[in-house]
Structure 1
Amino acid sequence: MAFPLLILSFLTLFIAYKLFQRFRFKLPPGPRPLPIVGNLYDIKPVLVRCFTEWSQVYGPIFSVYLGSHLSVVVNSAELAKEVLKDNDQQLANRNRTRQIAKFSKNGSDLIWSDYGPHYVKVRKLCTLELFSMKRLEGLRPIREDEVTSMVESIFKDCSKPENEGKAVVLREYLGMMAFLHITRLTFGKRFMDSNGVIDGQGEELKAILHNGIKLGTKKSWAEFLPWFRFFFKTENQLLAEHDALADSFTKKIMQEHTLARHKTGNTKNHFVDALLTLQKEYDLSDDTVTGLLWDMISAGMDTTTITVEWAMAELVRNPRVQQKVQEELDRVVGSDRVMTEADIPNLPYLQCVTKECFRMHPPTPLMLPHKASTNVKIGGYDIPKGATVSVNVWALARDPAVWKNPLEFRPERFQEEDIDMKGTDYRLLPFGSGRRICPGAQLAIYLVTSMLGHMLHHFTWTPPAGMKPEEMDMMEQPGTVTYMRTPLQAVPTPRLSADLFKRVAAGNV
């Protein structure tokens, strides 16, 4: 009898609390929540599409309950400005689930820390040290090395007689490039030998990353229904084991760099060296150093792969745009050398293509949720302390009130109007805005633009044999970051002479 009474007590308390909130606060409208589960029963797998559909029913701001937790979603540029500028400081905290709290050491990193002295200190470190223009320029040879290595790999595979005219799965090449690039930037290691074989340490890291993705994409009701967490002991154990493996791997890398620095006295541009060198100056705990390193990995790997895959899908579907980029590349770069990042300022249409892709396919379409540190008002509605607010960037990009023909992939719109995508124009927010804007935005822009430029300069891309462009699957996969549901397949046809497909190795940077 005790257990049913306990459940009944919880139900009574939940209903009483919700009634209290309803009378005390003027909350945004939204779908009717059920006791305990809230709106979990009604949420569709691709969250961003579900929320965009709900915005058309309930308006540009609405409430949704994840279990008993109130989340507010805004879906217009005007409301995004209220969240990210007008009420930026009051909405600068993070809502950490049990899994995120465990992995981030309860917000010891940058991404998941609450706004306060710790966040300000770590943010300053990232802005002035890790992502300074000087460091980004110093790391440019690594970016160009890995991009040209990817191009060489595609060329070798598509040049085999048995592969003539066949499509390649682009995600395989993009994913490997992103892995090698971000691990070199973060850990100072390539984890791959000259024969293209991943070493033991690299395989260990890949296994940790794969397991992290698996744990992260698995929706757990325990995150939203804390009263039932005792049913998820196996899940808790797997999470603890994953955290221990990641910590152990990072400590080994940090020890290697510390020993090497003591032997030679030299430091390099890599993030691990920078953090270890600056640890005392910025008074960083080991947990914060570890958390920052994994922030770089998690924020820099999936997002690059996702963005370029979506961009290439749009370019395959829009041969007019692809041809226009190639004409610009031929005019500026020519056919007797390969493109470099130094060419990007002279390739304005390519830059517009990058912007248009970030507009239509932001890799984190709901951004990361902001948590209210006090009661605030957004759009005339009350947001109680402790509620989270998500900005639906995907919906902003599809708003016909601010974008002409928003569903059309048309880079020319950025020639007609110069729109910033680093947080000052609330119609276009792929990197967020305000206090929580992504500090690595410029690095992402450099890398995505370089990858697209190389892939279009070296190859012409067409759909697989027998597939029409309009038949391509352009649906998102469920998750916080939005991969294409069906990995992109396309046929590459080389445009340059074979000697220009060789990797431009950076050496010991």
Structure 2
Amino acid sequence: DDNEQKGKLPLPPGPRGLPFVGNLLSLNPELHTYFANLVQTYGPIYKLQLGGKLGIVVSSPSVAKEILKDHDIIFANRDAPIAGKQVAYHDRDIVWNPYGPEWRMLRKICVREMLGNASLDAVYTLRHREVRRMVRTVYSKRSSPINIGEEMFLTVMNVITSMMWGGTIKGDEGTSLGAEFRQVVTLGRFDLQGIQGKTRPLFARFDQIFETIIEQRLKMEEGERRGIKDFLQLMLQLVKDEADAKTPFTMLHLKALLMDMVLAGTETTSNSVEWAIAELMNKPETMKIAQAELENVVGKDNIVEESHLPKLAYLQMVMKEVLRLHPALPLLVPHCPVSSCDIGGYMVPKGSTIFINVWAIHRDPTIWVNPSEFDPERFSGGKWDFSGNDFNYFPFGSGRRICAGIPMAERIVMYELATLLHSFNWKLEDGMKKIDLTEKFGIVLKKATPLVAVPTPRSSCAALYA
């Protein structure tokens, strides 16, 4: 009898928890390194008592494969933290929605309608406009130190919001909204401490913004609306078309997806660009190779276009290596099994929270040579990709819940990185020798100290910066 067999399996090993509080008190803020150290003691699958919940942390390719591939239907659900639920219109979004018809419908809309190559091509002019705006902004601050993370965050936010609803949020409102987006990202996604109270007012503010944008759009004349090409227009059409479907796409879904795109896309993408520039500045030789390729493919006095990206083989290797060392979500998004399951010879109970420590797998010395060394060459010859089929390298997750935004992320990171490296040289402020590459671990992996660097234009052609 299957259940009897399972009953005989032990739970994974793990540190002895205190009653009630569990291991929460001993979780130091640098969760990923803390988790990696526990691997030394307990092996590739271990348990942690997180308050009233059982957490299971997985840190090897073979165990990750059992969860994300062999038993992926059992593990295709999410364990939504309270703050995440608060933000996600009660699970109506794609990140936290339980696996089932509603989730499949959302996934189809995301992958087919919004994040497929055709839809992304259709909103290229909007992305292009924001990236050119970024170049002008950086150019206006040339020869003085700028905070790259901050600059990237605002640019990515504007790129994503302009694809969503065509408009960017300007000036002070943009800055304050950016700060609020950031707060939700940092608060909402790793809610072990139950910070629900803090997310509620932010959520209400988002909802208000979305309501206003939707209302403005609906007030427009039919004809005028038809001329607009952005994701909001596409989704409003879907709400209309799918009203009688078995699993209808509703206004609530529409707002939840807008929320997801902005929250899941902004900080993760801007951090990747910041990490890339930091790693390249630390390795000037590598930076030179990337810039030489750009000069070769784009030309010194031409503007980088997205059509150049597929030809930038070395820059693609740089992006892959950045995501190996600094995966945007180092523990992915937690999974939750719908039934108990034998994983790696242990019993993983129904309802536990499963963290896949992709950060640890990407730095495992049995898989990677000199794992903490930044070396894009390891990806030469098209080795590894973002498909999640190889469990030694899966920065976007794997299986049914693999990140739906890969094509968008790839384009935005590559486009911004290519533009920044092609248009400017980057150096540290006077007197600084080396960049501090320490990581700050949250649900999103960030640099502990923001990257501040000085841009100087690489071309004397004024039109490049106009």
The amino acid that maps onto 1:212 is V
Structural RMSD (CA): 2.1
- Which residue number corresponds to residue 226 of structure 2? 266
Which amino acid in structure 1 is aligned with residue 234 of structure 2?
A: A
SS where residue 412 of structure 1 aligns? helix
Q: Is the deviation greater in 257-266 or in 429-438?
A: 257-266
Q: Is residue 441 of structure 1 aligned with residue 406 of structure 2?
A: yes
Amino acid at match of 1:482: L
* SS in structure 1 at match of 2:379: helix
C-alpha deviations, 1:402-428, integer Å up to 9, x for none? 111111111111115521122122222
Match of 1:221 in 2: 193
Amino acid at match of 1:285: T
Identity %: 37
Equivalent of 2:107 in 114, 118, 123: 123
SS in 1 for 2:342: strand
Secondary structure of the residue that 1:301 maps to in structure 2? Answer: helix
Within 5 Å, give how 1:262-301 maps onto structure 2.
262=222, 264-266=224-226, 268-282=228-242, 283-301=248-266
Give the match's secondary structure for 2:439.
coil
Question: What's the counterpart of residue 431 of structure 1?
Answer: 396
Distance between the aligned counterparts of 2:421 and 2:449, measured in 1? 22
Q: Compared with structure 1, are the counterparts of its residues 131 and 28 closer, same or farther at alpha carbon in structure 2 (3 Å cutoff)?
A: same
Q: Evaluate the alpha carbon distance shift between residue 346 and residue 70 of structure 1 in structure 2; reply closer, same or farther with a 3 A threshold.
A: same
Aligned to 2:119: 135
Query: Could you tell me which residue of structure 2 aligns to residue 359 of structure 1?
Result: 324
1:213 & 1:440 partners in 2: Cα distance? 17
Deviations 1:351-410 (A, max 9, x none): 111111111111111100000011112211111110121111111110111111111111
Deviation at 1:53, TM superposition (A): 1.4
Match for residue 475 of structure 1 among 394, 414, 438: 438
**Distance in 2 between the 1:210 and 1:368 partners?**
18
- Helix, strand or coil: the match of 1:279? helix
Which SS does the other structure have where 2:240 is aligned? Answer: coil
TM-score (norm 2): 0.93
CA–CA separation in structure 1 for the residues paired with 2:456 and 2:176: 35
| Secondary structure, counterpart of 2:55 in structure 1 | strand
SS of equivalent to 2:430: coil
In 2, are the aligned partners of 1:186 and 1:271 still within 8 Å (CA)?
yes
- Partner in structure 2 of residue 335 of structure 1: 300
In 1, the alpha carbon distance for the partners of 2:456 and 2:108 equals: 45
Q: Name the CA shift for 1:337/1:389 in 2 (closer, same or farther; >3 Å).
A: same
Q: Secondary structure at the match of 1:490?
A: strand
Size of the aligned set, in residue pairs, is: 456
Whole-Å separation in 2 of the counterparts to 1:105 and 1:127:
20
Deviates more, 1:270-279 or 1:367-376: 270-279
Cα deviation code 1:421-451 (max 9, x no counterpart): 2212222212111110111101111111111
Ranges in structure 2 where 5+ consecutive residues have no aligned partner = 1-5, 243-247
- The match for 1:319 is 284
Which residue is equivalent to 2:159? 181
CA–CA separation in structure 2 for the residues paired with 1:451 and 1:55: 36
- Normalising by structure 1, what TM-score? 0.85
Match of 1:9 in 2: none
Which residue does 1:228 correspond to in 2?
none
SS at match of 2:396: coil
TM-superposed deviation, 1:210: 4.6
CA contact 2:186–2:444 (8 Å) conserved in 1: no
Query: Residue 182 of structure 1 contacts residue 301 of structure 1 at CA under 8 Å; is this kept in 2?
Result: yes
CA distance in 1, matches of 2:463, 2:176: 34
CA distance in 2 between partners of 1:73 and 1:415 (Å): 31
Report if the CA contact (8 A) 1:267-1:274 is conserved: no
1:454 and 2:414 matched: no
Find the aligned partners of 1:398 and 1:207 in 2 and give their Cα distance.
32
Q: Pick from 483, 486, 490 the counterpart of residue 449 of structure 2.
A: 486
Question: 2:460 — aligned with what?
Answer: 497
Once the two structures are overlaid, the 10-residue window that deviates more, 353-362 or 145-154, is 145-154
C-alpha deviation, 1:263, in angstroms: 5.3
Bigger-Rg structure (1/2): 1
- Structure 1 residues 51 and 492 mapped into 2: Cα distance closer, same or farther (>3 Å)? same
Indicate which of 350, 364, 378 corresponds to 1:413.
378
Q: Which residue of 2 aligns with 1:146?
A: 130
Give the deviation of 1:111 after TM superposition: 0.6
* 8 Å contact from structure 1 (residues 474, 484) kept in 2: yes
3-state SS, counterpart of residue 40 of structure 1: helix
Q: Distance in 1 between matches of 2:328 and 2:135?
A: 23
Query: Cα deviations across residues 253-299 of structure 1 (Å, max 9, x unaligned)?
Result: 11111222535251533221111110133312222111111000001
Aligned partners of 1:81 and 1:156: how far apart in 2?
Answer: 49
Moved more, 318-327 or 132-141: 132-141
Q: What are the residue-to-residue correspondences of 1:86-165 with 2, within 5 Å?
A: 86-158=70-142, 164=143
Give, in angstroms, the shift of residue 242 of structure 1: 2.6
Q: Deviations over 1:331-358 (max 9, x none)?
A: 2222121221111122111111111111
Partner of 1:304: 269
Query: Against the structure 1 CA distance between its residues 172 and 397, is the aligned structure 2 distance closer, same or farther, given a 3 Å change threshold?
Result: same
3-state SS, counterpart of residue 310 of structure 2: helix
Distance 2:61 2:404 in 1: 21
In 2 relative to 1, CA 245–118 (structure 1 residues): closer, same or farther, beyond 3 Å?
same
Distance 1:337 1:239, change over 3 A: closer
